[in-house]
Amino acid sequence: MDFTYEPVGVGISTLAERAITTSPVPHRSRPDPDDPNWRGVTELCDPATWREIGHQYSRSLETAHAAPGLLCSLQHYAGRALGLMVAAWCADGTLLHPGHERWWALIDQSGATLEVSLPGTPVLGRDQDPSALVDTIRCHMDPLVDACVEAGTVTRRAALGGVAASCAGAFGAAHRTAGSKRRPSVEMDADLVTRALSDRPLVTMIRLGDPPVLVHDRHTCCLIRLGAQRSECNSCPQIPEEQRRGRQQRRREHGRIATGSVQ
């Protein structure tokens, strides 16, 4: 595996590097060359790859249906990659390079992405306009969504729902580490970015409690609830709003607000 790339002309800032380093997202600076479970993310643009890892995830859920495994494996990757992208952008507008050939994912035998890596942390530039982050996310994720949809019986809206949930969770994590003066801006940016990912709303951002945390409600279901001994996510549209708020509040009190990837 070759982890060395030509620089893209813009070095990562100190603020963005610190945000990535302290991010709760599991990641490392370089993949382990001795671990065959590390895959170049270019593989994730291939429907055959999603059929493989989606089947592995469905098997781990003990469901015979392909759809839950496809949606959950896609969301699991998105939670890792977008966690880093959003953290860097919230720091100072840094846009991590979205090129698939630069990213790596550690995908286990259950089809779950355990870690991601972006060797050298290449940066496209810095732009604090939320539309720049939307463009970067879509450049990275749209080919993966298309491949996942082509691989099996999931709709594009359902697949994008997982991406939006991962994005929302990443903004929630950034909100927790932002200063009190910065938090209203993070809340506004989270709403703008998640809304721009689809023609119809996929998530709704929620400001919860005092001091506030930023959580979200989903408008699509990842179907993990169909797995053996599994239940709905705390943001699932299949459960009543009052129950969602109760679950989210309990997680808030225990300091375990979800980051947006399937756990």
Domain boundaries, the chain: 14-205
Let me know: does 96 contact 124? Beta carbons within 8 Å. yes
pLDDT at position 171: 96
> Mean per-residue pLDDT for 79-108?
97
pLDDT at position 144: 98
Task: Give CA 111 to chain center in angstroms.
Answer: 15
- pLDDT-derived band of residue 5, with 50, 70 and 90 as boundaries? low
Please write the tens of the pLDDT for every residue from 244-255: 887 777 776 665
Cα radius of gyration (the chain): 17
Please write the tens of the pLDDT for every residue from 159-204: 999 999 999 999 999 998 888 889 999 999 999 999 999 999 999 9
The CA distances from residue 247 to 102, 202, 214, 218, 231, in Å, are 37, 20, 14, 14, 12
| Strand intervals (E) in the chain | 27-28, 38-40, 94-96, 104-107, 113-117, 123-126, 203-208, 213-218
The hierarchical CATH code for the domain 14-205 is 1.10.510
